[in-house]
Structure 1
Amino acid sequence: MNYVEARLVRLARNGDRQAFEELVEMYKDKIYHLGYRMLSNSMEAEDVTQDTFLRVYMNLDRYDENQKFSTWIYRIGTNLCIDRLRKRKPTYSLDAEMPEGDGTDWYSLLKSDQDTPEEEVVLSETQDQIRGAIETLPEKYKSVVILRYLHDMSLQEIGDVLGMPVTTVKTRVHRGREFLRKKLEPEFGGGI
């Protein structure tokens, strides 16, 4: 843990509200994006973000300073997302329309080197297909794939966040990638 983070945690533990607010500022976007990627719903992502910081605040005295603060907060956020995913009741309908949500397409916010509108449409469709494939991942693969590829965490960090051995994380990342490859292969003609 870096010095500034450690100092903020110590101050927040001692009741310094400003220090806690700074911790919130440091992590609120990261936790929101984690929630959005795992739950595919902006309102649920906002709820998870608030719940994460509420739990952090209520349990600051239980935080072990020997571990990274980022690992601890990601573990809380990830577990809250997994709890929400488990509580969802799947509903399937062959003729159901796909929900549009709040209209936010996070992939479209990424900077693009594309020059033409046609290329941008193809890119957007590709990103939608990838996002859709990630959403269909089984729960045990979804969290590791999101943490690995969308949050750029190392296998060790993911193991720390999810409380599992690195070998298990490695296996799940591999199987998640294989699941995505098989799911996307028909769309991209084996170029994955």
Structure 2
Amino acid sequence: MNVLEARLAKLSLKGDQRAFAELVGLYQDKLFHMAYRMLSNRQEAEDVVQEAFMRVYRNLERYDETLKFSTWIYRIATNLCIDKLRKRKPVYSLDAESTDHEGLDGYSMIPSDNRTPESETLLSETQRIIHQAIDSLPPKYKTVMMLRYIEDLSLQEISEVMDIPVTTIKTRVHRGREFLRKKLEYKL
């Protein structure tokens, strides 16, 4: 448990708004990036972050100090993302253009030493195909894949965030990779 986070959570519980603002500052960008990658929609991601912090604030007395604060807040935000994904109408087309990326797809930040217009075009097309494949995953696999490979959480951390046994997380990661491999075999 991060000592700073524990102290800020305790102060926030006592009504210290500056301490809560510090917690928001620590996690706002991280949660937004995670939510944006899961939802591929800037407005929905912003809504999730705002709702997550509102829930954290309202439920600070329920925070279990034996858990990492990051695990608790990621669990809240991840569950909100899953709820939004479940409420969406399913879209199964892998050929459809993504409509709400506003020029940001998360993969555009991959560093490269020797970029040429040709390599940029190939890279952006590859990134688009990968992003579409990830977006086509069912929510239970998409969530695990995003937390594992985009947010770089360990299997144990994902288990804590999603409140699911590690063995289930391992299975979902394996099945998610298989699903992506099959989708990408035909595209790349």
TM class by shorter chain equals: over 0.9
Distance 1:96 1:11 in 2: 48
Pairwise CA distance, 1:122: 1.1
Range 66-75 or range 119-128, more displaced = 119-128
Pairwise CA distance, 1:90: 2.8
Task: Give % identity.
Answer: 64
Could you say what the CA RMSD is over the residues aligned between the two structures, in angstroms?
1.8
Matching residue of 1:108: 108
Matching residue of 2:120: 120
Distance 1:151 1:45 in 2: 15
Distance 2:69 2:128 in 1: 33
Pairwise CA distance, 1:92: 6.5
- What does the per-residue CA deviation read over 1:142-188, in whole Å, with 9 as the maximum and x for residues that have no partner? 10000000000000000000011000000000000000000001223
Matching residue of 1:60: 60
Pairwise CA distance, 1:140: 1.2
Matching residue of 1:147: 147
1:41-190 alignment runs, 5 A limit: 41-90=41-90, 98-188=98-188
**One-letter amino acid of the counterpart of residue 152, structure 1:** D
Matching residue of 2:33: 33
**Unaligned stretches of 5+ residues in structure 1:** none
CA contact (8 A) 1:114 1:120 kept: no
Normalising by structure 2, we get a TM-score of: 0.93
- What does the per-residue CA deviation read over 1:44-96, in whole Å, with 9 as the maximum and x for residues that have no partner? 00000000000001100110000010000000000001111111123568996
After superposition, the Cα gap between the structure-2 partners of 1:123 and 1:16, relative to the gap in structure 1 and judged at 3 Å, is: same
- What does the per-residue CA deviation read over 1:104-138, in whole Å, with 9 as the maximum and x for residues that have no partner? 33322343323312111111111111111000001
Distance 2:74 2:36 in 1: 13
**One-letter amino acid of the counterpart of residue 114, structure 2:** Q
Q: Residue 108 of structure 1: SS of its match in structure 2? A: coil
Normalising by structure 1, we get a TM-score of: 0.91
**One-letter amino acid of the counterpart of residue 24, structure 1:** V
After superposition, the Cα gap between the structure-2 partners of 1:170 and 1:58, relative to the gap in structure 1 and judged at 3 Å, is: same
**How many residues matched?**
188
Distance 1:94 1:69 in 2: 37
CA contact (8 A) 1:52 1:77 kept: yes
Range 170-179 or range 114-123, more displaced = 114-123
**One-letter amino acid of the counterpart of residue 149, structure 1:** Y
Matching residue of 1:4: 4
Range 56-65 or range 119-128, more displaced = 119-128
Distance 1:127 1:94 in 2: 13
Range 106-115 or range 143-152, more displaced = 106-115
